[in-house]
Each structure stands twice: as C-alpha cells, then as structure tokens.
Amino acid sequence: METPDSPEKSMDNTGASNGCLRIWLYRSAAMIISAVLFWGLPEAAVRLARPSLGQYRSIYFGGDGNSPLIFEKDPWLHWKLRPGVETDFLNVPVRINKAGFRGEELEDGHRYVMCLGDSATFGWRVADRLSYPAQLGTLLASKDRAKSGWRVLNAGVPGYSSFQVRTQAERLLPRWRPEVVIICAGNNEAWPAVQSDLSIASSRRFAAFMEGLISRSRFLLWLSEKLDPREPRPFIAGKLEGAAPRVTREEFSDNVRQLIRTARRSGARVILMSPPVNLYSPPFLSRRLQDSKRWLGWCDSVSRLALAGKKADALKEIDAQLRIDPRNVHALWMKGWVLTQAGRTGEGRNLLEEALERHPFPESCKLSYRRVLERIAAEEGTEYLDIDRIFRASRPGKSPADLYLDHCHPTPEGYDLIADALARIISRVSSDEPYTAQDLSHLLPLSPE
C-alpha cells in the first residue's frame, strides 16, 4: 500500500523546482545582457554614428563622383536608389524621396501611376520636374476635374535591365498597388557581360540571401565592409571576346510578360512603352570593336565630306567599304546618316536600324527587341506607345535627333511629348473623360515615308 509523500519531501521538490527556475532566469538574463553588450550596443552606436554604408561603387554612373551617394548596394538588384538623398548628379539637382522614388515626398490618399524603367524613366541629365514621370504627374493633375488625386511614382533606375525591372516590380507593386503601370525597358539589355543577368541571379541565390540578412543590421553591414572592403566585381565584361548580352531576346520576352502578369495581379492596367533610341547618334562601344581607332577616323573623314556638301563623294567612299564587307557597322551607320542629311530620311533610318541591329553590344535597344515589345502588347492586350513614332510625328520629314541628349535619353522637350501621349492614354483607359479621335490623332501610326 502506497503512502503519501511526507511534507519534508514536498518541500524538497518545490525547492528544486524554484532552483531550476532561478537558473533558467539567470541564464536567460545572461544571454540578453550578452546580446545587448555584443550586438545591441554596437548596433546602436553604428546607427547613431550614421556612417555611409552600402554605397555602390562598382560602377560610377555617367562618371559622376556623386554616384555612390545616390546608388546603394542591393543583394538581388545589384544597385538601387538610396532613399532620402538630395544632391547634384550629372550637373543637375536630384532628389530621392524616403520611399526610394525620384521626386517629392509622397502623401497618402492618392491614385498611383508607377513608371518602371531605366535612366530614360529616371530622367538622365534633366532636373526632377522635367523627367517624363514628373511632367506626366503635372498633366494628370491639370486635367483631373474629378479631383481623383493622381500621383506618378518615378521608379526608374539608371542602368537597369528588364530583368532588374522585373525583380524590382515584384517588390514594389504589391506594396503600392498602382492603378496604372508604365513599363519602359530595353536599352540596357545588350551590355557585354561576363554572364547574363539571369545566370548571375541563379548562381548567387544563397549569397544574395546571406547579404540580405546582413544588410538588416547596420552593425553587421559595417563590420562586413570593414573586414572585406573590396567592391563586388562588376558584371560588365572587360573585353568583347567571350562576352554575352545581359539579357537575350528570349529572356527579354519572358521578363516583359512576367512584368505584365505581376502588374495585373496587383490590379493595375499596363502601358508598354518602347525605349527611346536615337538612331542618329553613333553606336556606342565602337571604340571596343576591332580596328575601332581606324574606323572612327574613317567615319570622321566621311562625315566631313558630307557636311562640306560633297555627299555624293561620301557615299562613294561608304559604298566602297560596303562592297568589301556588307555587314560593316560603321559603314552602314555612316550611309544611313549621310542619306538622312540628304533628306532621304526613310531610307536612311532603315540603314541606321540595320547598323544598330548588327552591332554586337550597342547601348541602345535593337529593333528586334522593340518588335518583341510590340508583339507582346498585341498578344497581351496592353496599351503600347511607340516613342519613335511620336518623335517622328513631331518632326515630319526630318530627323528627330534634336529631341535627344545622346544615344537614348530625351531632352526636356522629348520628355514633354512622351508625357503628353501617356496622359492621353491614361485619360482614355481610366474612362474618366475620354479624348476625341482628333485629340489622339498624333498617337496613330505614321504612314510609310
């Protein structure tokens, strides 16, 4: 027969339990104090000191020394805009608001239009208010009789490929839920790279995950930069031999389709926009092509002949080179340029397009990529804005070269034309106050020249 425990035994058990509890409390307190001493205090100290951490220095965009002030490292995007920055960049004032968009600070209670893209969307070498997203915001506000409160978000980031825009959109669209998404990408797809953007992302998933964890702590980020101050190796190839484009045409198609799906899942209407391409600017990276120095000198002498009024002599020189090599990028471009100078704009533009298409690594969007955009817009049922047609319509029978600052970045006047066309499309698709056919006439395709 079992007998009940004595009072002395019960007291011993209670004392043992209390002792275990005290040990557990002491150990927990020691762990908390250790965490505060060895991580919390350093974390607080780094946050109070506010050192410049995470600056992206692998590429100095535009060769500007202020580039690291505007761009910061990102494990998945390589670089992104640094929130809360106001400084000069490319000799113009640039403001990045606290949300990480270019422009003024945001307020709640707005209907959002989000502009995704690269430097053409960001507004390369123009002030904040002159980029097409800023001008579009001004136009929508002026036509907003219903006071619906449109606000345009400029999410453009210089240097972004369609793969980076796709990755960025997967972050931004669920957070901001814009009603309209404008996508303009394609001018950075053909950079000569060691690996394609997709290959790099696939090969460094674990590294990106770990970098993401470290970046959540200012102390760990500071410590990692002190222990390993080396900058990440740029993905841009040092030489053209063996290089690959950042984004192939097939990958470009997949990126754009995924962008449309992501936008639609967030409830947005999509406007696809062709990237601006100045065909009348010599193809970039020419200095890295074979015998580039000799060819650049030849181009200079031929252009001097044409500008001196000797266009027939210039064309003879060019045709002689094309008989030797019909695929010569420099000769094709020069012939297109001379024909344009002679007033044969349609024929000249076709040759300029061919030169760009045959260039292995141009810094502008090839026609084959732009046709992918047009085809996807038709298949997906999205609005499509062809910037080249808009610019040519504003300069009938002439070259629209004066609407560009360089090979692909529009002037403020060019941005104004883009913003006006987008404002008309948004007004039509939002069904607030549709424009008449006459109002939209300059958006229609041009007749063949």
Q: What is the chain's mean pLDDT, rounded?
A: 83
Q: Is residue 218 part of a domain?
A: no
Residue 248 has pLDDT above 50, yes or no: yes
% of the chain with per-residue pLDDT over 90: 57
Integer Rg of the chain from CA: 29
142/174 same-domain check: yes
pLDDT digits (tens, 9 = 90+) for 131-147: 999 999 999 988 765 55
What's 338's domain CATH number?
1.25.40.10
How many angstroms separate the CA atoms of 345 and 356, rounded? 16
CB 105 within 8 A of CB 97: yes
Q: Report pLDDT for 50.
A: 64
Q: Is residue 55 part of a domain?
A: no
256/386 same-domain check: yes
Close Cβ partners of 329 (under 8 Å, ≥ 6 residues apart):
283, 286, 289, 355, 358, 359
Band of residue 240 on the pLDDT scale cut at 50, 70, 90: confident
Close Cβ partners of 414 (under 8 Å, ≥ 6 residues apart):
276, 391, 403, 404
Q: Is residue 75 part of a domain?
A: no
Q: Report pLDDT for 437.
A: 33
Task: For 213, list phi and psi in degrees, rounded to 5.
Answer: -65, -45
Query: Mapped to the 3 state alphabet, what secondary structure does 207-247 carry?
Result: HHHHHHHHHCCHHHHHHHHHHCCCCCCCCECCCCCCCEECC
327/259 same-domain check: no
Residue 4 has pLDDT above 90, yes or no: no
| Domain termination site, one of 333, 358, 383 | 358
Band of residue 442 on the pLDDT scale cut at 50, 70, 90: very low
What's 157's domain CATH number?
3.40.50.1110
Residue type, position 103, single letter: G
| Domain termination site, one of 311, 331, 358 | 358
Q: Is residue 97 part of a domain?
A: yes
Which residues is 117 bridged to in the sheet? Answer: 184
Q: Report pLDDT for 8.
A: 52
Band of residue 14 on the pLDDT scale cut at 50, 70, 90: low
How many angstroms separate the CA atoms of 368 and 249, rounded? 8
pTM of the entire predicted model = 0.84
- 41-55, 72-86, 172-186, 409-423: the lowest-pLDDT one: 41-55
CB 407 within 8 A of CB 284: yes
Q: Report pLDDT for 157.
A: 98
Which domain covers residue 263, as residue numbers? 82-193+245-279+365-430
Residue 19 has pLDDT above 80, yes or no: no
Residue 17 has pLDDT above 60, yes or no: no
Band of residue 148 on the pLDDT scale cut at 50, 70, 90: low
Q: Report pLDDT for 448.
A: 32
How many angstroms separate the CA atoms of 200 and 271, rounded? 29
348/371 same-domain check: no
Q: Report pLDDT for 210.
A: 66
254/141 same-domain check: yes
Pairing mode of beta strands 180-184, 269-273: parallel
Give CA separation, 419 vs 70, 71, 87, 350, 424, in Å.
25, 26, 25, 27, 9
Q: How many domains does the chain have?
A: 2
347/390 same-domain check: no
Residue 331 has pLDDT above 80, yes or no: yes
